[in-house]
A and B are shown apart, each in its own frame.
Chain A
């Protein structure tokens, strides 16, 4: 059960991450790119959680916490940059 669910979830998350990547490349503004990057990191976090669920191996859960924190830090830094320099 969990193996099949994890395979399906990985597939869906992969498609979603690909769509985010397309938006990140196409832009057109810096704000679009950073919003897409934030969402992409959310999907990376979800993927790590799915992997931990299917293997029962919780080594990478620390990486997940750091990735979630870095997503916020990066977004606020770029927002600060846009505020100062314009997009």
Chain B
């Protein structure tokens, strides 16, 4: 159990590092949000799962499970709120953006940028 837990701890930390690298490398808010929510949530789940396997005390495990559940519920909501607010505030998209469905639906601009 301890070996599996240790491996999960390291893998979870690596996913957190991946999220941080994505935060540096992507070049607009929406792409950065993608890396800040998905790999970071999976990394947190692996780290907390590994910690639960190592500790195994019921009180501690219940808190760890609670945090994972909270993160699963709140991460999509938070990302949705930030994304909507940033788009409405006129945040510029990355120059590499090809499809902007929201612009087509609500602003009447073409979906696909001319290139």
Contact = CB atoms under 8 A, between A and B. Distances in A.
A35 B91 CA distance: 14
A2 B54 contact: yes
A5 B7 CA distance: 7
**In terms of DSSP, what is the predominant structure of the interface of chain A?**
helix
Interface residues on B, range: 35 or more
B36 A36 contact: yes
B20 A46 contact: no
Contact of B60 (A39, A45, A58, A87): A58
Contacts of B17: 12-13, 15-16, 19
**In terms of DSSP, what is the predominant structure of the interface of chain B?**
helix
Interface of A: 1-2, 4-6, 8-10, 12-13, 15-20, 22-23, 29, 31-32, 34-36, 38-39, 42-43, 45-46, 49-50, 52-54, 56, 58, 61-62, 64-65, 68-69, 71-72, 75-76, 78-80, 82-83, 86-87
Interface in B28-74: 29, 32-33, 36, 40-41, 43-44, 47-48, 50-51, 54-55, 57, 59-60, 63-64, 66-67, 70-71, 74
28 contacts: A1-B3, A8-B13, A9-B12, A18-B20, A23-B32, A29-B86, A31-B29, A34-B82, A35-B32, A39-B20, A39-B23, A39-B36, A42-B16, A42-B19, A43-B16, A49-B51, A52-B51, A53-B5, A64-B63, A65-B67, A68-B71, A71-B74, A75-B78, A76-B77, A78-B82, A79-B81, A87-B85, A87-B91
